A and B are shown apart, each in its own frame.
Chain A
C-alpha cells in the first residue's frame, strides 16, 4: 500500500524541548516538503528537499531543522527556538522536483504542554 506516513499523530512538547516529526514515503518520489497549517492561514512551507542530501528553506524555516539522508525519509525537528510550535504539520512528496501534484500525509498535531 503506497503512500506517505507521518508519526506520531499527536505530539506534546515541553518548554525548551526539541521534538522530531517523522515522514516516510514509499512512492519513490524525489521531492519532499514540510508545511505548517494554522487556522485561517492555509499551508505555509517550512522546508523542502528536491533530492537526497539537499534541502532548502521555505517561508517559515526559523526554529525548524530537517535532514534528507534517505530518499524515503524527511524528518522535521521543531527546536526550542520555535516559540509558537502549536500547529498541524503536514508532510508531502511529489514525483518531480517541480512542486506539481503533491501528495500529503495524514499530518501530526503538535501541542505545547
Chain B
C-alpha cells in the first residue's frame, strides 16, 4: 500500500513531441505528489509538485495532471527538447510526517 508505481520504464520522444509519464498509488493518505528530474551522475532536483485539492498544475512546459478518484497522476512535458533527456521520478508523501515514497523512475530520451 506504500508503493508508487511508475510507467513507462523508458521513453523515447521526438523533439517537439509530448512526453507523458504516469504514476499510480494506493495509499489514500498520500497528499503531496512531487516530480523530480535527474541528470546522469547528479542528484535529483524538484521539478514540479501538486496536492490533491487541484486536478492540474502547470509550470512552463511541465504539467502535472492528478486524478484523485483513480489514484493516478502524470507528468506531461510539452514541446520536448533534447535537454529534457533525463530520468524522472514521481513520489508521494502521506500527511502527518510521512516520508517520500519514490516511483521506479522513467528514463526519457528526446531525439533531435
Contacts and interface: CB of A to CB of B under 8 A. Distances in A.
Classify the interface of chain B: helix, strand, loop or mixed: loop
Given A40-B9, A41-B104, A43-B89, A98 B43 contact: no
A96 B36 CA distance: 18
Interface residues of A, number: 26
Contacts of A106: 42-43
Contacts of B42: 106-107
A45 interface: yes
Interface string A91-106: 0100001111111111
Interface residues of B, number: 24
Nearest to A98: B97
A98 B102 contact: no
A101 to B, nearest CB: 6
A107 B43 contact: yes
A99 B100 contact: yes
A40 B105 contact: yes
